[in-house]
Chains A and B, each alone.
Chain A
Amino acid sequence: GDSVTQMEGPVTLSEEAFLTINCTYTATGYPSLFWYVQYPGEGLQLLLKATKADDKGSNKGFEATYRKETTSFHLEKGSVQVSDSAVYFCALYGGATNKLIFGTGTLLAVQP
């Protein structure tokens, strides 16, 4: 079945460091891909999305490119801030499913 694999955390970075969180997927067909973020004590928020191969999703300085050849959707940010500390979830929708399938999440801790 469809699945998402994320790099395990926690990821600890200093402010202004470069961030990469790896995400790969297995899916039938052509799913849409998403990154959601969960700040401490808050609900899941959609961070960015991409609907087809080579699409780049971007929001709040974060970017991810839908790579069909490597079945990947890695999240990147050039300069993280303390306020980016949160849990990040990669997810897919579509292919053989009418629901979001999430990875296990990656905790990011940014230190001043």
Chain B
Amino acid sequence: DTGVSQNPRHKITKRGQNVTFRCDPISEHNRLYWYRQTLGQGPEFLTYFQNEAQLEKSRLLSDRFSAERPKGSFSTLEIQRTEQGDSAMYLCASSLEAGGPYEQYFGPGTRLTVT
């Protein structure tokens, strides 16, 4: 068990460019979550998958955001036409959905800076 990993750890991009982040969950975990954290705030939910199915999306997830989890393993989060307001830490978490208490384990995050 190597924990949840995320790549890249840091991304600087220019406004209007597309970016993609990757998350590798703990291997036996069937739920995978994406959160966004801005400075001085707690993480806010974006979306989650159970296996390969995307079951819920937050209203924070505009049409420019898309997430996938092919084959129920790793997940990618893509942001198209980035805006300065997208600058944040993007966190991935995974959990084993087997009766609770639904502990989520977080990766180190990808810090996005849009210039």
Contacts and interface: CB of A to CB of B under 8 A. Distances in A.
Nearest to B35: A100
Interface in A53-112: 89, 91, 93-94, 98-105
A93 B101 CA distance: 9
Contacts of A46: 103-105
Interface in B84-115: 91, 93, 100-109
B91 A104 contact: no
Given A43-B91, A43-B109, A44-B91, A102 B103 contact: no
Interface stretch (B13-21, B36-44, B67-75): B36-44
A26 interface: no
Contact of A49 (B33, B43, B93, B103): B103
B21 to A, nearest CB: 14
Contact of A98 (B42, B56, B106): B56
Per DSSP, are chain A's interface residues mostly helix, strand or loop, or mixed?
Answer: strand
B108 A51 contact: no
Contact of B107 (A43, A101, A102): A43
A46 B106 CA distance: 8
Given A91-B42, A99-B45, A105-B42, A32 B106 contact: no
Given A42-B108, A46-B105, A99 B33 contact: yes
A94 to B, nearest CB: 7
Nearest to A99: B45
Interface of A: 4, 32, 34, 36, 42-46, 49, 51, 89, 91, 93-94, 98-105
Counting from the closest, the 3 A-B pairs by CB-CB distance are A102-B42, A44-B106, A99-B45
Given A45-B106, A46-B104, A105-B41, 11 more contacts: A44-B91, A44-B93, A46-B103, A89-B42, A89-B43, A94-B100, A99-B48, A100-B33, A100-B43, A102-B42, A102-B43
